[in-house]
Structure 1
Amino acid sequence: MTGVDRELLAERAAAVGRHLDRVATHLPADVDGLSPLSSATDTVVLHLWQAVQVVIDLAVSTCVRLGLGSPPTYGDAFRSLAGAGVLDAELASRLARAAGFHKLIVHAYADLDLRRLHLIASDGPADLRAFLAALRDLA
């Protein structure tokens, strides 16, 4: 069984790229440029959430395709892929935290820490791209 379908991966990677481009375009240079429920903040959150969702979907489906089973949590999907040698353990740990952030957006959007959001939107895209590269190398 292969880990990922190349055509699907290319399409999903393009979607992640489009979402991350929108995050970069709307992310203010400084955290003070974000304010609760503003257009810039909403755009950053929405597109970051969507990019993370695509990566989570790919992680879960890759676990299943590799015969690792269906992970009980999104974070476990990344940890399982690290255990199988697909991902570096540190990257998997950061991606598991991204999955936690994803859940926070769904359940507590109004309570987001804007400093944390700015940090994640600034640094997190590199991890999402590293995940996609690892899957591309696996395909």
Structure 2
Amino acid sequence: MVDPGRVAALLERVGAEVKAIRQSTERPDEDLHSDNDALPAMKYRLVVAIETTIDIADHIIASEGMRPAQSFADSFAALEEGGWVDGDLAGALQEAARFRNLLVHQYADVDDDRVVETARTRLNDLETYCTTIARRLA
């Protein structure tokens, strides 16, 4: 059975990270690039926010007896299969999980402009996920 308290705490964590990221994205690009701490902090907060969405998914998967995910991205496919999220949201979150892998493992040099653009344009996916999960548990 899904632990609503645990999921609520994780949802709160995602919300706090998204809020902080959104605040930093309001800064002009020049400020972000000239501040030695701004972009590393943004990258870290993105990683934490995305990893926390994965933690939520994995908790639901285990609690509901769904098929085990084969990767972080696959966690969201499993949630879609289980009826917890729709296909569009699952796809967006799979993309987020792959972006997290890129940031963490540095498979390629991550362009700072791409990080800022992702932070400015994809946070709604994380918020939609949190709203979807919270409504399902209400």
Category of TM-score, reference length = shorter chain: 0.7 to 0.9
Query: Does residue 58 of structure 1 match 2:56?
Result: yes
Alpha-carbon distance, 1:37 to partner = 8.2
Whether 1:130 and 2:128 are equivalent positions in the alignment is yes
**Structure 2: runs of 5 or more not aligned:** none
TM-score (norm 1): 0.87
Aligned counterpart, 2:73: 75
Instruction: Determine the structure 1 residue equivalent to 2:10.
Output: 12
Cα root mean square deviation, aligned: 2.1
Matched, 1:106 2:101: no
Q: 2:6, 2:51 → 1: CA distance? A: 15
13-22 vs 99-108, greater mean Cα deviation: 13-22
The structural deviation recorded for 1:51 is: 0.7
Q: Which amino acid aligns with 1:104?
A: L
Contact persistence 1:27–1:118 (CA under 8 A): yes
Go from structure 1 to structure 2 and tell me whether the alpha carbon gap of 1:12 and 1:125 turns closer, same or farther (over 3 Å shift): same
Give aligned-pair identity as a percent: 26
For structure 1, the 5+ residue unaligned runs are none
CA drift of 1:83 comes to 1.6
The normalised TM-score by structure 2 is: 0.87
Q: How many residues align?
A: 137
Q: Cα distance, 1:115 vs. partner?
A: 2.4
After superposing on structure 2, the runs of 4+ consecutive aligned residues of structure 1 that deviate more than 6 Å are: none
Amino acid at match of 1:127: D
- Aligned-residue offset at 1:123: 2.0
CA deviations on 1:45-76 (whole Å, 9 max, x unpaired) are 11111111110111112111121122010111
Give how far 1:30 is off.
4.6
Give the alignment of 1:26-65 within 5 angstroms: 26-35=24-33, 38-65=36-63
